[in-house]
Amino acid sequence: DAGVIQSPRHEVTEMGQEVTLRCKPISGHNSLFWYRQTMMRGLELLIYFNNNVPIDDSGMPEDRFSAKMPNASFSTLKIQPSEPRDSAVYFCASSPGRSIQNTEAFFGQGTRLTVV
């Protein structure tokens, strides 16, 4: 398996523009996470899907952020409108399922977002 695939790897956009980040989880994994990494906060969870259903979106900063998982092999994180403070590395991760033996999350390489 190729692992978790994220696109694009880098995104530079102007303030106010819409940004869409994409993720393809590992086939067969039931859980999908979107994390944001910043120097101040480290890795913070934005949203968690289980079997394509959003379970916990309490980490989504504000209404400008939205995430979807239309099927088991694809998820998007959208920011509209984007702001400079959204600049960070965004990671998508997936894990096999809801058991103690399957807690390990597998991460993609991340999307480095810069909003100017």
- Hey, which residues does 68 pair with through a beta bridge? 76
Lay out the site mask for another protein across 2-21 (x = CB under 8 A, - = otherwise): --x-----------------
Q: b/e string for 34-45 if b means 16 or more Cβ within 10 A?
A: bbbeeeeeeeee
Name the strands in the sheet holding 19-24, side by side, starting at the edge strand that comes first in the sequence: 5-7, 19-24, 74-79, 65-71
| One of 33, 60, 77, 88 touching another protein (CB under 8 A) | 33
| One of 32, 108, 113, 115 touching another protein (CB under 8 A) | 108
**Spatial distance between the Cα atoms of 94 and 110, rounded to a whole number of angstroms:** 13
| One of 35, 46, 69, 88 touching another protein (CB under 8 A) | 35
**Residues numbered 57-86 forming contacts with another protein, rule: CB under 8 A:** none
Q: Which residues bind another protein (CB under 8 A)?
A: 4, 31, 33, 35, 41-45, 48, 50, 55-56, 91, 93, 95, 98-100, 102-110
